[in-house]
Amino acid sequence: MSKRNVVGSNVHKVDGHKLVTGAPAFTDDIEMPGMLHGKILPSPHAHARIARIDTRKAKALAGVHAVLTYQDVPRVPHTTAGQAWPEPSPYDTYLLDSKVRFVGDRVAAVAAESRAIAERALRLIEVDYEVLPAVIDMEQAMAPGAPVIHDEPDSTKIHDPSHNIAGYILREIGSVEEGFRESDYVVEREFRTHRQQHTPLEPHITICWLDPNGRLVIRTSSQVPYHTRRQVAMILQIPVSHIHVIKPRIGGGFGGKQEMLLEDICGALTLASRRPVKMEYTREEEFYMARSRHPQILRLKMGAKADGTLLANQMTVLATTGAYGSHANTVQGNTGSKVLPLYRTPHMRFECHVVYTNMPVAGAFRGYGCPQGFFAQESLVDEIAAQLGIDPVEFHLKNTIRLGDIDRLSAQLGEGKEGLPRVIRSCGLQDCIRRGAEAIGWAKKRQTHKCPSPHLKRGVGMSCSMQGSGIAGVDWASAFLKMNEDGSFYLQVGASDVGGGADTVLSQIAAESLGVTLDKIIITSGDTDITPFDVGAYASSTTIISGGAVKKAAEKVRAQVLSLASKMLETPVEKLECGSNEVFTVCECRKSVTMTDIALQAMYKEKLQIMDGASHFNTDSPPPFCATFAEVEVDTETGQVKVLHVATAVDPGTAVNPMQSEGQVEGAVTQGMGYALTEELLLDGAGRPLNPNFMDYKIFSAKDMPKLTTILVETDEPLGPFGAKSISEVPINGPAPAIANAIYDAVGVRIRKLPIRPEDVLLALRDKERERREEGVAK
Amino acid sequence: MKTMELRVTVNGQPRQWTIAPGDLLLDVLRREGLFGVKRGCEKGECGSCTVLVNGRALNSCLMFAAKVEGCEVLTIEGLADGDALDPIQKAFLDHGAAQCGFCTPGMILAAKALLDRNPHPSEAEVREAMAGVLCRCTGYLKPVEAVLAAAGESSKRAARKRRPAEAVR
């Protein structure tokens, strides 16, 4: 491997300067002349038909320019999930409908000259609702006689609408029954996970206007500009060519913006008013009108030999997608396909029902089904290891997937269709486990539990996880490069930097391939008029897929540069190298020509624009691996769990920018701790949100944080650009099971429901104490 | 609609703005093109709209603009000295402390208020001062490291400035 100059360096973010100086970079940081404010009238009912709706008073209010109800817009069944066409999610959503299916569902929309007028107009819309019985409990959704949420005839791709089943999955490899028969120890447990919200600091926001040619411009905080363009075209029934989607700087997405959420209604209001319209969710609306993580009930059954060899792994999942099936099948498919294959188990079975309920809509969320699955699996594995008297570190080293293995479950569980078998071509998991254990002080802490006081007990726990790097055979991206006359290069990518630093990583890959310094790469990303296609920022795909496209395009452009330099230096191409913003000979004569001179020669002598583009996809999705170790302190009097230290060791392939990679891990771990301990969007019995604000929905602040240790265990992935895989998702899977296992280590109780609240721990401790006493009495 | 005149110093420049009595400082600052003041919750919960008013870090979404009459307001736009970044801004770049960048102005200003009154804070003091600015990207480690590094840097610079004076003495 030759020495690298830019890839592998902790360069500053290419867009860092504008962020630390507060330059106007985000969607909301423009002021359009004549811009209106759009607002949505949210449904107050979980399930109702609109019997009558009268907008005359709202329309008559001074300053109101448009009021839309289902009577005013085309009825086109679609999904809001920002996925490659044809989307594997059900087409069960309408721009506006005569039925509402959750508290917060769209009833009407207005555009007015100020937010205050828009809000006043909403109050003037008269609606008579025929309130319907609602399905709030997911365990009741499939019951005979349950209210049918999607009874409309025109929705498609719903597995069984009459039983509220959005999607169903059943896959088996080998025979779990046989596996259980061969096992010495079989255990089955139920786990429950909850509704977590992304809470990007920048809520969803879209500004639409008509350009001088009458095309609809959509400036939007989106992870998926190209999917959004296609979906809005379909919904508003205008040609794709009449839409221009611009993704400015994004204030965090985490999957919540892999969704066409405000763009369609904002576009409709713009078309109706012929004025620029801005729509932004308030923080409260963001909590329940945007998306959340799918709540699941998981039954997991595993069988092992006495020596700890795992033989069979069966996962049965009931999940709810809320009122609409955004990402319903694919998130839940990942709960099986990315979780079960962590172990080299010969027998695996995954069965899942995804049901509709009259609840806020779930969607893509960092980890994409895996945090739920790994919480269950890694908790159960810890229990099995304890039962068999095997140290969890040893248990993981013995059973986890390794280099050269073939993951066959992925082949059966592709996203929305048959997938492709996954071959493990790089795997640093064993090193991750060893180095993470060392960082947390595993060997010592598992033996001697330090108790600072009689009621404060400490323990350590661990978990392992993996993810993917792009969707095999589905995700693809393209990139375009052109040379400027000062020897710099303009890089155009469809990829969407959501905040994780994709613009920087892609620029680093281009600079490395072209032998130029990073300042010679000027990147534009995510603009459907300017940049070539990219599926968008999801499925941990950007570094490997978009980066692959950038590398290919850069290699083509490099060939053009070398060809011209060869003429200028009168040296064959084979004897030339690019580096330090010049092309030089590798023979002893040491001639060179600068990139600037090459560009000037090309443009003004040869009449040639040096430029090229490339497309890229992979037929495999190399997994990044992660081992998470947590140390906790449990207060046995209050049930309070305090995390003291989380050590996370991750194999991302090559870390293109190690500092950014660490940042991805630290952010994911923090969201994962919130998932484990504090974050839950609560609803009352009527489906109304109880805590849609940051005071009552608690995310970690700077003060709440434990010590974080991040270890990058780099490997060289053959399918990735410069050996890179991905990193942003996988570390979110670890904290919940590692913390639950640490709690067991500390106080001997298993918590199988998230989030782990003090009252749950306290109750479990009391139950344990009672059992102990009863056992004493029985003896 | 009733209006009133607001006289305020913003980023070192005297300003006179016509506002409505109920206008929030957040809205007025953004209306005047200071887009570095971010709207994250409008309830004083997230801290994205943090500005310094007479050196104190405050949520501009909770404050009537009329309240800053005669005050000095500092937003992120006023922190750098021309092209020269403030040491906290530079440390944020060096430490990879900005990810999506939406909370970054609030974080940097909260840190600025701290370092101005306590140039050598402990890590716990940095975390306390930044607890009012929520971040969903970083896990706070790199921002806290950046602020501690900036504090070290500013004390070094102060030491450099002091040295000639000591030589004279």
Averaged pLDDT for residues A105-132: 98
- B127-151 pLDDT, tens digit per residue, is 999 999 999 999 999 999 999 999 9
Can you give the pLDDT at residue A579?
Answer: 96
Averaged pLDDT for residues A639-652: 98
Averaged pLDDT for residues B99-110: 98
* B41: nearest CA partner in chain A: A283
Q: Is residue A12 part of a domain?
A: no
Q: Which residues in chain B have Cβ-Cβ distances shorter than 8 Å to A19?
A: 98, 101, 104
The domain that contains A40 carries what CATH number? Answer: 3.90.1170.50
Contact of A291 with A259, CB cutoff 8 Å: yes
Read off the pLDDT band of B168 (50, 70, 90). Answer: very low
Separation of alpha carbons A283 and A693, rounded Å? 7
Q: How many CB pairs under 8 A join A and B?
A: 176
Number of CB atoms found within 10 A of residue A473's CB: 17
Q: Which residues in chain A have Cβ-Cβ distances shorter than 8 Å to B141?
A: 666, 705, 708
Domain count for chain A, please give it.
3
Q: Which residues in chain A have Cβ-Cβ distances shorter than 8 Å to B42?
A: 282-283
Q: Among B96, B102, B138, whose Cβ lies nearest the Cβ of A202? A: B102
Q: Give the minimum alpha-carbon distance from B70 to chain A in angstroms, rounded to a whole number.
A: 24
Same domain, A69 and A211: yes
Q: Is residue A684 part of a domain?
A: yes
For the structural domain made of B1-78, what CATH number should be given? 3.10.20.30
How does A679-694 read in b/e, with b if 16+ C-beta sit within 10 Å? bbbebeeebbbebbbb
Q: Give the minimum alpha-carbon distance from B76 to chain A in angstroms, rounded to a whole number.
A: 6
Averaged pLDDT for residues A80-93: 97
Say yes or no to pLDDT of B28 above 60. Answer: yes
Same domain, A463 and A512: no
Q: Among B34, B89, B131, whose Cβ lies nearest the Cβ of A702? A: B131
Whether residue B140 and residue A22 make contact (CB cut-off 8 A), yes or no, is no
Q: Which residues in chain A have Cβ-Cβ distances shorter than 8 Å to B37?
A: 22
Separation of alpha carbons A394 and A464, rounded Å? 12
Say yes or no to pLDDT of A411 above 80. Answer: no
Whether residue A13 and residue B96 make contact (CB cut-off 8 A), yes or no, is yes
Q: Give the minimum alpha-carbon distance from B163 to chain A in angstroms, rounded to a whole number.
A: 31
Query: A708 is in which domain, residue-wise?
Result: 296-471+620-771
**3-state DSSP call for residue A321?**
strand
Q: Is residue A385 part of a domain?
A: yes
Same domain, A636 and A682: yes
Contact of A412 with A173, CB cutoff 8 Å: yes
Separation of alpha carbons A58 and A124, rounded Å? 5
Whether residue A702 and residue B130 make contact (CB cut-off 8 A), yes or no, is yes
Q: Which of A570, A585, A617 is the last residue of a domain?
A: A617
Separation of alpha carbons A436 and A760, rounded Å? 28
Q: Which residues in chain A have Cβ-Cβ distances shorter than 8 Å to B92?
A: 16, 20
Lowest mean pLDDT among A105-109, A588-592, A656-660, B54-58: A588-592
Whether residue A200 and residue B102 make contact (CB cut-off 8 A), yes or no, is yes
Give how far the C-alpha of residue A712 lies from the chain's centroid of Cα atoms, to the nearest Å: 21
Same domain, A111 and A58: yes
Separation of alpha carbons A206 and A166, rounded Å? 29
Q: Is residue A559 part of a domain?
A: yes
Q: What share of chain A has pLDDT > 70, as a percent? A: 98
Q: Give the minimum alpha-carbon distance from B101 to chain A in angstroms, rounded to a whole number.
A: 5
Read off the pLDDT band of B157 (50, 70, 90). Answer: low
Same domain, A488 and A402: no
Q: Which residues in chain B have Cβ-Cβ distances shorter than 8 Å to A700?
A: 139-140
Query: The dihedral of CA A385, A390, A395, A398: what is its sign?
Result: negative
- A424-476 pLDDT, tens digit per residue, is 999 999 999 999 999 999 999 998 777 888 999 999 999 999 999 999 889 99
Q: Which residues in chain A have Cβ-Cβ distances shorter than 8 Å to B45?
A: 283, 693-695
Contact of B36 with B10, CB cutoff 8 Å: no
Q: Give the minimum alpha-carbon distance from B54 to chain A in angstroms, rounded to a whole number.
A: 20
Task: For the full predicted model, state whether its pTM sits above 0.80.
Answer: yes
Same domain, A258 and A373: no
Separation of alpha carbons A29 and B35, rounded Å? 6
Whether residue A251 and residue B77 make contact (CB cut-off 8 A), yes or no, is no
Q: Is residue A152 part of a domain?
A: no
Whether residue A19 and residue B96 make contact (CB cut-off 8 A), yes or no, is no
Q: What string of H, E and C letters represents the secondary structure of A453-508?
A: ECCEEEEEEEEEEECCCCCCCCCEEEEEEEECCCCCEEEEECCCCCCCCHHHHHHH
CA-derived radius of gyration, chain B: 17
Same domain, A217 and A110: yes
- A479-494 pLDDT, tens digit per residue, is 999 999 999 999 999 9
Say yes or no to pLDDT of B91 above 60. Answer: yes
Read off the pLDDT band of B169 (50, 70, 90). Answer: very low
Say yes or no to pLDDT of B165 above 60. Answer: no
Where do the structural domains in chain B lie, given as residue ranges? 1-78, 80-169
Can you give the pLDDT at residue A550?
Answer: 98
Q: Among A13, A669, A702, whose Cβ lies nearest the Cβ of B98? A: A13
- Strands (E) in B27-164, as ranges, are 50-53, 56-59, 72-74
Whether residue A26 and residue B140 make contact (CB cut-off 8 A), yes or no, is no
Say yes or no to pLDDT of B161 above 60. Answer: no
Same domain, A462 and A591: no
Separation of alpha carbons A319 and A316, rounded Å? 10
Can you give the pLDDT at residue A779?
Answer: 63
Q: Among A22, A201, A666, whose Cβ lies nearest the Cβ of B134? A: A201
Q: Is residue A504 part of a domain?
A: yes
Separation of alpha carbons A579 and A561, rounded Å? 12
Q: Which residues in chain A have Cβ-Cβ distances shorter than 8 Å to B101?
A: 15-16, 18-20, 25, 249, 251, 499
Q: Which residues in chain B have Cβ-Cβ distances shorter than 8 Å to A199?
A: 136
Read off the pLDDT band of B167 (50, 70, 90). Answer: very low
Averaged pLDDT for residues A33-48: 98
Test mutation, B59, B137, B145, chain A, max A CBs within 10 A: B137
Say yes or no to pLDDT of A565 above 70. Answer: yes
- Secondary structure letter of residue A158 according to DSSP: -
Residue A106 backbone phi and psi in degrees, to 5: -70, 130
Q: Give the minimum alpha-carbon distance from A145 to chain B in angstroms, rounded to a whole number.
A: 41
Can you give the pLDDT at residue A596?
Answer: 98
Question: Which residue, A485, A393, A385, is CA-closest to A430?
Answer: A393
Test mutation, A10, A19, A199, chain B, max B CBs within 10 A: A19
Whether residue B134 and residue A670 make contact (CB cut-off 8 A), yes or no, is no
Q: Among B45, B104, B138, whose Cβ lies nearest the Cβ of A695? A: B45
Read off the pLDDT band of A2 (50, 70, 90). Answer: low
* A695: nearest CA partner in chain B: B45
Can you give the pLDDT at residue B50?
Answer: 98
Whether residue B40 and residue A24 make contact (CB cut-off 8 A), yes or no, is no
Helix A370-388 and helix A328-337, axial crossing angle in degrees, nearest 10: 20
Same domain, A560 and A637: no
Same domain, A629 and A757: yes
Whether residue A694 and residue B45 make contact (CB cut-off 8 A), yes or no, is yes
Same domain, A580 and A681: no
Contacts of residue A654, defined as CB under 8 A and 6 or more positions apart, other chains included, come to A7, A8, A714, A715, A716, A717, A720, A722, A723, A724, A725
Whether residue A201 and residue B128 make contact (CB cut-off 8 A), yes or no, is no
Whether residue B38 and residue A669 make contact (CB cut-off 8 A), yes or no, is no
Q: Which of A583, A617, A651 is the last residue of a domain?
A: A617
Q: Which residues in chain A have Cβ-Cβ distances shorter than 8 Å to B41?
A: 282-283, 693-694
Q: Which residues in chain B have Cβ-Cβ distances shorter than 8 Å to A249?
A: 100-101
Test mutation, B94, B102, B123, B145, chain A, max A CBs within 10 A: B102
Same domain, A572 and A642: no
Q: Among A17, A695, A705, whose Cβ lies nearest the Cβ of B139? A: A705
Q: Which residues in chain B have Cβ-Cβ distances shorter than 8 Å to A223?
A: none
Say yes or no to pLDDT of A1 above 60. Answer: no
Whether residue B102 and residue A26 make contact (CB cut-off 8 A), yes or no, is yes
Whether residue B92 and residue A23 make contact (CB cut-off 8 A), yes or no, is no
The domain that contains A536 carries what CATH number? Answer: 3.30.365.10
* Fold classification of B80-169 (topology level): DNA polymerase; domain 1 (1.10.150)
Q: Which of A617, A634, A662 is the last residue of a domain?
A: A617
Residue A358 backbone phi and psi in degrees, to 5: -85, 60
